[in-house]
Amino acid sequence: MKFFVDTADTKEIAELAATGLLDGVTTNPSLIAKSGRRIQEVIAEICAVVPGPVSAEVAATDYDGMIREARVLRAIAHNVTVKLPLTPAGLRACRTLTDEGVMTNVTLCFSAGQALLAAKAGATFVSPFVGRLDDIGHDGMALIGDIVAIYRNYPALRTEVLVASVRGPLHVIAAARLGAHVATLPPAVLRSLYQHPLTDKGLAGFLADWAKTGQTIA
């Protein structure tokens, strides 16, 4: 499974990229707004430190506007992935951009039918929002299972399932078990995957025993 981080905080991204565990980044208008900076500046900075796909979302809702904005975004760096809403205009724009060789991420997916349309439109990624479905009493992971199963029935479909709106480590593990290709995680969730009390306890024990030897390695 590939790990993307879901943020526009360039300091956080640089720190996580330095671990070698980060495969890409997703942003959205809300995250860019929190940064207080121009989108072109933020995306360029991210693309300079993360070689993998970096999703930058259009703000237009009509096809012509989406295409105009997509051309601005794709010119920032070669690894920009144009993020489009799962609407008729967004799917049409996805088809156009895919045919031009542009990476695309179709977002705000909440049903298997929508995911099938995104794949038919040639999306590089489709982003089902599991946390938001859980919030309204639906099973977000059941949707991931459905999408993965449907895509496996049709090898010609190349769209990767990018699990979004991830709320904690259990979402990540469940998505990996189902065979999702990517999970995009808030920085805190990504860091939480490191944590286990037995790891901390075991390390403390090893270090205490080592200190008793009076030895150094370097």
Query: Could you give the CA distance from residue 94 to residue 158 in angstroms, rounded to a whole number?
Result: 14
What number of other Cβ atoms are within 10 A of residue 170's Cβ?
A: 10
Do 135 and 117 contact (CB within 8 A), yes or no?
no
Query: Could you give the CA distance from residue 119 to residue 126 in angstroms, rounded to a whole number?
Result: 8
Going by C-alpha positions, the residue among 178, 193, 100 that lies closest to residue 142 is 178
Q: Choosing from 11, 34, 83, 120, which is the catalytic residue?
A: 83
**77, burial (CB in 10 Å: exposed 0-12, middle 13-18, buried 19+):** middle
Strands (E), the chain: 2-6, 24-26, 54-57, 80-85, 104-109, 125-128, 160-163, 182-185
| Catalytic (active site) residue 34 | no
Query: Could you give the CA distance from residue 180 to residue 120 in angstroms, rounded to a whole number?
Result: 18
Do 5 and 16 contact (CB within 8 A), yes or no?
yes
CB environment 7-27: b (16+ within 10 A), e (fewer): bbbbebbeebbeeeebbbbbb
- Which residues are catalytically annotated? 83
